[in-house]
Structure 1
Amino acid sequence: MPMIIATVMAYVDPEQQAEGQVRITWEVADKFGASLVGVSAFAVEPPFVAEGVIIRETTADDLKRMKSARADKEQWFRSVAGLPEGRVEWRCSVDYPTAFLTNEGAIGRLGGDQAHARKMDQFHFIDPAEAMMRMGRPTLLVPDHVATLNADRVRVGWKDTCEATIAVRNALPFLSRASQVTVVEISTSDEQDTARHRVRDVAKYLQAHAVKCQVDVRVHMAEPDAHQLVRLAKDEGAHLIVTGSYGHSRLGEWMFGGVTRGLLHELPVCVMMSH
């Protein structure tokens, strides 16, 4: 049976004003009859001390203003969400944003360029890459310039891994509604026949779930695999790329595989990743 999408979660950062970033999560929630949860958090910065003198610290008034700003952001989120009261929820905490989102995680709309640029401010903004890898849930990454999700044509980036299998399973609600799904594997020249067998097996699985599916096998080129996958998606006019996310934590820092890292940095279209 296809995975049921019951909850769509959107992180709302303190500077978020673009309604399109909430509207896209509303579209997903509305399409699948899911609940929509807005999540926001901030952590209190420790005092900045130089030569034994406190230069800057968060005061009680600062904390009060920050909480008030979050209350205003909740009202903004609810007004933009446009769903019945019983299907909209707001969760806020004084906590590190990435840690809070990870603990609450469902399907999350994590922004692209802006979120990546701000990720070093761990007190106010999420690190989308770390959140995605830690949540263990399907994550929808949306470029800043995209204000609506048209998932009519989908490219599935396939590898013979658990992550890819989980990604396909998690994406079934989207894939079953698409008019065109293409499963593509980028392989070495001497593995093309084996790759064709693999993607055909994936296609059979998807067709058994009423997914209109075709397959494609390409040979590694000089360009990185992520660029090749993106180029193929653009050539096909795909609206969504589905793929597994690959990485591991070393000494508290996430290290990503080439395709995952490339897609995180590029994000030309919406990307749904699962880890």
Structure 2
Amino acid sequence: MDYKTIMVSLGLDGPNHACLAVAGDLAERFGARIVGIAASDLRPPMYFAEGGFAQKLFEEEAAAIQRRLSELEGEFRSAVKSRARSVEWRSARALPVPYILQQARATDILVVGALADSIAVDPSAAVDPSDLVMQAGRPLIVVPPVVQWLDLRSVLVAWKDAREARRAVFDALPILAAAKEVTIVEIPEQAGQRADAMSRVADVAAWLRGHGIVANTVVPDKASGVTEQIDNIAANVGAGVVIAGAYGHSRFRERVLSGVTRHLATESRRCAFLSR
């Protein structure tokens, strides 16, 4: 199984070179097509202005959005035209998250830029990866702005014995098969559970062997500080990508992510492959 279509989301207000570089690397590696996508809508204050002044603001803002979308199309095509089997651009004056969720039916995987947790997201102009990963039905690669390429020399699987992790590892099979080195880590949830965790990661490693993928396994003794331990192990193995399931705190508030998933989507300095 390979990825045949890559969709990359371009932000209106920030740099896009990292996402474009990773999307280009994926397209070259898998011989895939790339779909670039961007959207923005009028900011809410526009709806509360009145009369001719409101119309003037509406027209100016709409024109500015269209100009920026056209600029992004040019940036996208220039960056990937020689790297993909074919390219396509999709854009709209619409709220970005609903628009991308709708268009995700046309792709195998989404590439999106990371947003720092401290940054307030303007839903009319920006995409929060948390919203996408919980609703898209497609895996995401979340790309920090410091990343310059998709580094598959070492890949870390952050394992947890749950449906989301099983889904993520399956969705990531092409990435894992392309990686030079794969490491599976599970952080025990409680003291005294290390033996059970070792048995679980051994099962995952054996399953990957059936797909021709050799993986190392790591289970630390410490049963706390999960995020910090994953970061430390990723650094120790030189991981360029961390693969993990996306976990929500509550079925009633699915966009609220667990601490580990939120960290990978917002604060990590390496790419995060997230699936649910």
Residue by residue, what CA displacement relative to the aligned partner does 1:79-122 show, whole Å, maximum 9, x if unpaired?
A: 111337861010011210011111122422221246x5555211
Q: TM-score, normalised by structure 2?
A: 0.88
User: How big is the shift at 1:212?
Assistant: 1.8
Map residues 218-237 of structure 1 onto 2, 5 A cutoff. Answer: 218-223=220-225, 225-237=226-238
- 2:63 equivalent in structure 1: 64
Map residues 99-178 of structure 1 onto 2, 5 A cutoff. Answer: 99-105=98-104, 106=107, 107-113=109-115, 120-178=121-179
CA contact 1:119–1:125 (8 Å) conserved in 2: no
Report the structure, 1 or 2, having the larger strand content.
1
Q: What runs of 5+ residues in structure 2 fail to find an aligned partner?
A: none
User: How big is the shift at 1:183?
Assistant: 0.8
Which of 4, 7, 11 does residue 5 from structure 2 map onto? Answer: 7
CA contact 1:137–1:274 (8 Å) conserved in 2: yes
User: How big is the shift at 1:185?
Assistant: 0.7
Map residues 247-262 of structure 1 onto 2, 5 A cutoff. Answer: 247=248, 254-262=255-263
Secondary structure at the residue paired with 1:230? helix
Secondary structure at the residue paired with 2:149? coil
User: How big is the shift at 1:237?
Assistant: 1.2
- 2:24 equivalent in structure 1: 26
Secondary structure at the residue paired with 2:124? coil
Residue by residue, what CA displacement relative to the aligned partner does 1:175-203 show, whole Å, maximum 9, x if unpaired?
A: 11212111111113322111111111100
CA contact 1:25–1:109 (8 Å) conserved in 2: yes
- 1:92 equivalent in structure 2: 91
- 1:210 equivalent in structure 2: 212
Residue by residue, what CA displacement relative to the aligned partner does 1:150-180 show, whole Å, maximum 9, x if unpaired?
A: 1111110111111101111111111112121
Secondary structure at the residue paired with 1:186? coil
Tell which deviates more after alignment, 244-253 or 35-44.
244-253
- 1:191 equivalent in structure 2: 193
User: How big is the shift at 1:238?
Assistant: 1.2
Runs of 4 or more, structure 1, over 4 Å off, are: 52-57, 116-119, 248-253
Q: What runs of 5+ residues in structure 1 fail to find an aligned partner?
A: none
* Counterpart Cα distance in 1 of 2:83 and 2:223: 50
* Counterpart Cα distance in 2 of 1:249 and 1:55: 44
Change (3 A) 1:30 1:125: same
Change (3 A) 1:101 1:118: farther
